[in-house]
Structure 1
Amino acid sequence: MYEKLRRENGQVAPVLLPGDVPAWFVLGHRENLEVMRTPSLWSCDSRIWNVQLSADSPLLPITAWQPLLVFADGEEHARLRAAVTDSLARFNRHGVRRYVVRYTNQLVDSFASVGRVDLVADFAEKLPILVLARQFGALDEDALPLGAAVRDMVKGTETALQSNQYVVSVMSELVKRKKDKPGDDFASWLLSHESELTDDEVMEHLRHAIVAAHENTTNLVANTLKMLLTDRRFRASLSGGSMTLPDALDQVMWDAPPLAVGACRWARRDTRLGDQEIRAGDMVMLGLAAGNVDPQIRPELSTPVHGNRSHLAFSGGPHECPGQDIGRAIADTGIDTLLARLPDIQLDGSSGELQVTSSLVSSRLNSLPSRFTPRSTVRKDTVAAAAAANGAQPLPAAAPAPAAGSDAVAPHARTAKASWWSGLFGRRRR
């Protein structure tokens, strides 16, 4: 599709979104960076859009203005981003990696004796939220239910609205708890930051951060494991030492970025982008995956680009992803620990059977069935004793997303439309 659009329109293409809403899709690597790096011309504030959406438009979740740094410009963006980046900078990176190793080992222990595992459902979807929930200050028992709710919400299922309400309720309770008893965690740091965020602003940024971090890190882990299990040359380069795991992550972020389309921008005034005349108030969509395969910078897609971090996976400019190093640390350390524990793991089936759910902004691997030589595990009481000695907690039990009508609903979330998510999602095979 990207090749067809590029042939017909150049590096910027006119497109129609659900509801026949007009927009511009940025295909070029340089053009994407031009938009990202020029906030004086390209605004993040959707309130200047020259289009009025219907109340049930599926575009509302990604375009409706919210009091978040992703929709802010200028001084307001600087205030909100300072709170987020300063708080993220306080994370103990070595501590994060220790927790990644600890939770990876616990997850592997849960299926090591079976010899089979779905690396998406049983690993990629669980590891990030276990680490992130602890760093955010959430309760251990909230971790896996929170991760399940985030994935359900982003997948656009029939219970997506209830899942969003559950996430809001957990983050709201987290803010209340940390105001009363601050700790060494992301929520407490946001609350105490000199930017003086309101409680609602803290809650909204916690919700946005947990959704973005969990979804993108899950996709990064899943896509990297998929490439390892389906591309023999890729795995041979890694196992042979010609490519490190951090290099491998960069290759994946070029070829299968966790987010295919970045946050939208709106033109502040009439301008020209690529070969197109853009009107004031027009919306442009940042094609991260499209820019990564731009033939002007990658004439031969088969040429390895591992170690090259000029990909667009983390966006760029003043809105570049502030937590990218944490996501990389979870993926890098988690996959490395997994492969050390299960060095002979391989795909259980053919790559042609793998299903991917596509949406307007991302492609999500549904499952990655794998097999390996079963490993005997130590007795559960020994595991529990070792975990307690190291301050680790047992894996919390997973819980389904809250059912419709759940009492754990933030009042303002009740006005959301479940149909916002419909129409964005479809299934395809790879």
Structure 2
Amino acid sequence: MTPESFSPADTYDPTAAPPPGCPAHGIGPGGLRRLYGPDAADLGAVYEELRAEHGPVAPALLHDDVPIWVVLGHGENMRMVSTPTHFCRDPRQWDALQNGTIKPDHPLMPHFAWQPICCHAEGDEHRRLRGAVTGAMSTIDHRGIRRYANRATQLLVNKFCEKGSADLVSQFAEHLPMAVMCEILGMPEEYNERIVEAARDMLKGTETAIASNAYIMDALTRLTVRRRAEPEEDFTSHLINHPARLSDMEISQHLRVVLIAAYETTANLLANVLRVVLTDPRFRAQLNGGQMTVPEAVEQSLWDEPPFSTILPYVAKQDTELGGQRVRRGDALLFGIAPGNVDPRVRPEPNANMQGNRSHLAFGGGPHECPGQDIGRAIADVGVDALLTRIPDVQLACEEHELNWRSFILNRHLVELPVRFEPKVQQDVSRRPALNPESPQRADDWQVGTVQTRSAAPQPPAAEPVAAETPATAAASTARPNVFRRLLSWWRGE
């Protein structure tokens, strides 16, 4: 079968599939590559094989040998997500769902099933639902997010700083985004170990994923009812009171989308940035030397290890051509974020430094581009910077090759990131900053310890005796550091 004649809508003989354990188990009906099974541990290599065989758009198979197009090219991905006349996110238009090819117990059904959310809507309905989400997001004080993320970071570091060792995945990266998102949504009392575990579990397709989803939805449903009756200055209240007048079901479903998408993306992003800082001496030297800022380090990570590897499904609304392939109406396509980011046509060297370039695919594009991407960036920027300031001598506590990853078609993330450092004293974080303060606060009203900059060099001793300071010169010398400290605190949102 030639690439040009393939369509995921074509029928095939299931008996043609090799038995489990066969050397060709990674190859399915029609000679198509499977994106699951033994080869799924290194989907990056599978994507490159598909690129070499078929070009920027390739045929492949999902679990249960469900056909799908994999979009590998950067330009082809951008064309797909930015052309709503040809491609949509409504899974009800996917032929494989309509004709029974995909069974109700398919392991990816939670990601296929239609929901009353803006991600699956089009036209006026999409504008109504997304308008409510973006309208509520516009009320979020981003400096408030940075203040709260800084405080949450200090609280998390306080839990392990005296020990001199930690796992920065389970003790930091998986907790910071949830703490901040619970505050943004207006349910800080729900933040605990259970909600963190449930958020991570529900995306893995495990036996407990349904129960984890129910736990999340119960918390969000209770929040919706509570804020209907007693609105406050939080995201949920603004979403409820938006002129679009979303129903309670629409409110709770969108709260889940915002919570889980922001949480999973930012947790993976934090872990990935910290991993590179700990394993790549050049990367860390650039940060310490001032050649790269933390926000630039975050963007580099979004190129190299995007928090979501793929998004599915996009569906063709009409017969069309994409990347030299004939895509039929009703065919599904996989938005290839990770393979698109290493497309040789835009990045000839896979390890190239992309500093200053934000054209990665990590947050999508077109009408379904992630509306909360700046929130995730803010949490990651502050979290990484604050953690490295608290424990600047942090080092990886194992060899890099000993790090374990959990791979799945939608993403891959670190299982753990063990580190060691000299034990540190806890910081006093007694004051809780508000996300939306009623009146502006001075920059030094809330500080955690003493602000130090990694780029500041120690002053050499004076070669000659100097004259004693007068009160005026003493005041001037004290004022200059205070001015700089306040400026730095303002920049960090403290």
TM-score, reference length from structure 1:
0.88
Equivalent position of 1:11 in the other structure? 56
1:28-39 correspondence runs (5 A): 28-39=73-84
Equivalent position of 1:356 in the other structure? 405
Which amino acid in 2 is paired with 1:119? L
Equivalent position of 1:205 in the other structure? 254
How many residues align? The count is 386
Does residue 390 of structure 2 align to residue 341 of structure 1?
Answer: yes
Residues 270 and 105 from structure 1, CA distance in 2 versus in 1: closer, same or farther, beyond 3 angstroms?
same
Cα distance, 1:377 vs structure 2: 2.6
Q: Which of 318, 331, 340 is residue 367 of structure 2 equivalent to? A: 318
User: Structure 1 residue runs of 4+, over 4 Å off?
Assistant: 388-392
Q: Distance in 2 between matches of 1:62 and 1:141?
A: 25
Cα distance, 1:141 vs structure 2: 4.1
Q: Secondary structure at the match of 1:179?
A: helix
Q: Distance in 2 between matches of 1:154 and 1:347?
A: 28
Cα distance, 1:147 vs structure 2: 2.0
1:181-330 correspondence runs (5 A): 181-330=230-379
Cα distance, 1:155 vs structure 2: 2.9
Q: Distance in 1 between matches of 2:129 and 2:355?
A: 33
Contact in 2 for aligned 1:133/1:143 (Cα 8 Å): no
Equivalent position of 1:174 in the other structure? 223
Q: Distance in 2 between matches of 1:208 and 1:3?
A: 31
Q: Distance in 2 between matches of 1:101 and 1:56?
A: 42
Cα distance, 1:144 vs structure 2: 4.0
Equivalent position of 1:375 in the other structure? 424
Q: Which of 140, 157, 161 is residue 112 of structure 1 equivalent to? A: 161
Q: Secondary structure at the match of 1:357?
A: strand
Equivalent position of 1:92 in the other structure? 141
Residues 275 and 367 from structure 1, CA distance in 2 versus in 1: closer, same or farther, beyond 3 angstroms?
same
Contact in 2 for aligned 1:70/1:263 (Cα 8 Å): no
Which amino acid in 1 is paired with 2:382? T
Cα distance, 1:117 vs structure 2: 0.4
Cα distance, 1:364 vs structure 2: 1.3
Equivalent position of 1:160 in the other structure? 209
% identical aligned pairs: 47
Which amino acid in 1 is paired with 2:79? E
Single out whichever of 27-36 and 223-232 deviates more from structure 2. Answer: 223-232
Single out whichever of 301-310 and 244-253 deviates more from structure 2. Answer: 301-310
Higher relative contact order (CA 8 A, sep 6+): 1
Q: Distance in 1 between matches of 2:312 and 2:137?
A: 21
Q: Distance in 1 between matches of 2:256 and 2:208?
A: 18
Contact in 2 for aligned 1:249/1:306 (Cα 8 Å): no
Equivalent position of 1:387 in the other structure? 430
Does residue 117 of structure 2 align to residue 68 of structure 1?
Answer: yes
Q: Distance in 1 between matches of 2:64 and 2:412?
A: 21
Cα distance, 1:148 vs structure 2: 2.0
Which amino acid in 2 is paired with 1:244? T
Contact in 2 for aligned 1:356/1:365 (Cα 8 Å): yes
Contact in 2 for aligned 1:25/1:285 (Cα 8 Å): yes
Q: Secondary structure at the match of 1:133?
A: helix
Single out whichever of 85-94 and 153-162 deviates more from structure 2. Answer: 153-162
Cα distance, 1:139 vs structure 2: 3.6
Whose radius of gyration is greater, 1 or 2? Answer: 2
Q: Secondary structure at the match of 2:311?
A: coil
Cα distance, 1:142 vs structure 2: 3.6
CA deviations over 1:216-246 (Å, ceiling 9, x no partner): 1000000111111111111111111111111
Equivalent position of 2:106 in the other structure? 57
Q: Which of 15, 21, 26 is residue 71 of structure 2 equivalent to? A: 26
Does residue 170 of structure 2 align to residue 127 of structure 1?
Answer: no
Q: Secondary structure at the match of 1:149?
A: helix
Which amino acid in 2 is paired with 1:118? D
Q: Distance in 2 between matches of 1:141 and 1:310?
A: 36
Q: Distance in 2 between matches of 1:169 and 1:361?
A: 25
Q: Which of 38, 43, 59 is residue 88 of structure 2 equivalent to? A: 43
Structure 1 gap ranges (5+): 393-430
Cα distance, 1:143 vs structure 2: 4.5
Residues 158 and 181 from structure 1, CA distance in 2 versus in 1: closer, same or farther, beyond 3 angstroms?
same
CA deviations over 1:94-118 (Å, ceiling 9, x no partner): 1110001101011111111100000
Q: Distance in 2 between matches of 1:143 and 1:209?
A: 18
TM-score, reference length from structure 2:
0.76
Contact in 2 for aligned 1:171/1:206 (Cα 8 Å): yes
Contact in 1 for aligned 2:144/2:433 (Cα 8 Å): no
